[in-house]
Structures are given as C-alpha cells and as structure tokens.
Structure 1
C-alpha cells in the first residue's frame, strides 16, 4: 500500500475525530438527560455513511483507496464504539440499569439498520 494512502487515512481520521468532537459538544450543550444521545447519533451517522460508501465501492463508483480514506479514516475517527461502551458502564455504575440496557440495545441494533439504509441510498443510482 502506498505511503500516501496511509497518510491520507491518518489525516481523514483526524478530521473525523475533530468533527465528532464539535458535534458531540454541540449536542451535549442542549441534551442534559441520562441517555448518551450524542454518541448514539454520531455512531448512527457514521454507520449510515459507511453503508453508502460500501455500496459505492461494491458498485465500483469509488476506488478502494477512496473507500479506505472515507470509511477507515473519516468514519473510523468520527465514530466511537469505545465511548459508547464506556457510557454503558457509567450508566450501570450509576445504577441506571434500564437506561444501560436500552442504550446497549439501540447501540447494537440501530447502527446495523443505518448501514443497511446507507447501502440502499448508495445503491439508488444502480
């Protein structure tokens, strides 16, 4: 793999992380409830865009390096599964068991639906 692709994935991952930080901070300013909405929304958005990119790569609309740049780089930096798991543990430690279970369920299943929806959207031009 050429070094320029590695550098581009590195840079796009950093860009994704910055966008996540800004969006996360913006959502948390107005959402002050126990459910970690910002991480959940960010992961759903990333899954949706990953689905679009996967369809685009599958139908040869984009190259493999573009797919890597966007999915591995940007979406990888933008999404944050580890934060979601940490928030679940925090809910459990705070004895918010129902909220933790609900967050677990939606965090595991809704992003899968988002990927599938993204695939459908990415396949519309076929």
Structure 2
C-alpha cells in the first residue's frame, strides 16, 4: 500500500515541480537558478509543515515521501552548482549553495513550528 501512496504523491509532485520551476525561471534572467531554489525552499516548508502537523503515517508517506520527494530536487541543485562552477561563476555557486541550505533549514523549521502551533 505504501508504494502506491508514494507513486500517487510523486505523480503530483514531479509535474508541479516542473511547472513551478519553469514559471519562476522564465521571470528571471541571469545565472542564478531561481526556479530550483524556489521549488526546493517551498518543498522544505511543506515538509516542515507535514512533520509539525503530526499526521498519520499514510499521509506522511503520501505527502512527505511521495509528493515532497518528487517535488524537491537535490540532484538538480547539485547539477546547477557544478554548472555554475564550470562557468567560473564561483560567487553564484557558493551563494546558491549557502542560500539553499540556510533557507531550506529556515523554511522547514518555520513550517514545523507553524503547523505544530496550529495543529499539534
């Protein structure tokens, strides 16, 4: 049953990631990968909320593992960081890495705290 929940969540998360990434990136010129950045930070916020809400295990598998797992993209983050480094855009690469990790931690913490305060 869990496999079906992961598949169902991923079936929504992956296309939504693509659409949001393209929509954000289309509005920004330049080297910084805003699309992936926004997707990953919003995914951290959602996963923080899910964790803080204390949902039943099935919902956690569906929304956390399935949806958030397919929505966020560590591989694209890594690839874009390498690409920026190859282009000798070192400040962008370092800024992207630091901002992604820091903002992701802040977003997940805020999501957790908000959901825990409202629902926990």
TM-score tier by shorter-chain length is: over 0.9
Partner Cα separation in structure 1 for residue 24 and residue 44 of structure 2: 18
Measured after TM superposition, the shift of residue 5 of structure 1 is 2.4
2:38 aligns with: 41
Question: Which secondary structure does the structure 2 equivalent of 1:124 belong to?
Answer: helix
Structure 2 gap segments, 5+ residues each: none
Structure 1 gap segments, 5+ residues each: none
Consecutive aligned runs of 4 or more in structure 1 exceeding 4 Å deviation: none
1:119 aligns with: 112
TM-score, normalised relative to structure 1: 0.90
Q: Which among 8, 13, 23 is matched to residue 11 of structure 1?
A: 8
Which is higher, the Rg of structure 1 or of structure 2?
1
1:83 and 2:76 aligned: yes
Please list, as runs of the form range in 1=range in 2, the aligned pairs for 1:83-102 lying within 5 A after superposition. 83-102=76-95
Partner Cα separation in structure 1 for residue 80 and residue 60 of structure 2: 29
CA RMSD of aligned residues (A): 1.0
TM-score, normalised relative to structure 2: 0.94
